[in-house]
């Protein structure tokens, strides 16, 4: 790894957020990211639904999803926004 490329990182811990509000909170934080910024997400369950939602609605090439900590009590992932790809219409 060379260069001084530094990504902006926004941390979002949704464990204290009501479960019914978590998805909107997480997706809102992702949508607010500028290109090449990273969302450091902290949750109490595997956030794979976010991965599948982003893949289906934005395209796999528009983000990077990396596990930092993988349970069993806490999951942490880095979700990096690679493009400003708008959401695709889903049927």
Cβ neighbours of residue 32 closer than 8 Å, sequence gap 6 or more: 10
What are the φ and ψ backbone dihedral angles of 9, each rounded to 5 degrees?
Answer: -120, 125
17: left (phi over 0), alpha (psi -120 to 50) or beta: beta
d(CA 51, CA 63): 9
> Which CATH architecture group holds 9-81?
2-Layer Sandwich (3.30)
pLDDT in tens, 6-60: 679 999 999 999 999 999 999 999 999 999 999 999 999 999 999 999 999 999 9
Total-model pTM: 0.85
Question: What pLDDT is recorded for position 79?
Answer: 98
């Amino acid at each position: 790894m060379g260069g001084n490329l530094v990504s902006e990182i926004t941390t979002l811990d949704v464990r204290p957020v009501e479960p019914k509000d978590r998805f909107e909170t997480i997706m809102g934080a992702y949508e607010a990211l500028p290109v090449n910024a990273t969302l450091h997400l902290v949750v109490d369950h595997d956030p794979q639904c976010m991965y599948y939602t982003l893949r289906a609605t934005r395209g796999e090439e528009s983000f990077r999803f990396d596990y930092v900590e993988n349970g069993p009590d806490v999951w942490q992932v880095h979700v990096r926004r690679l493009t400003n790809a708008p959401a695709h219409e889903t049927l």
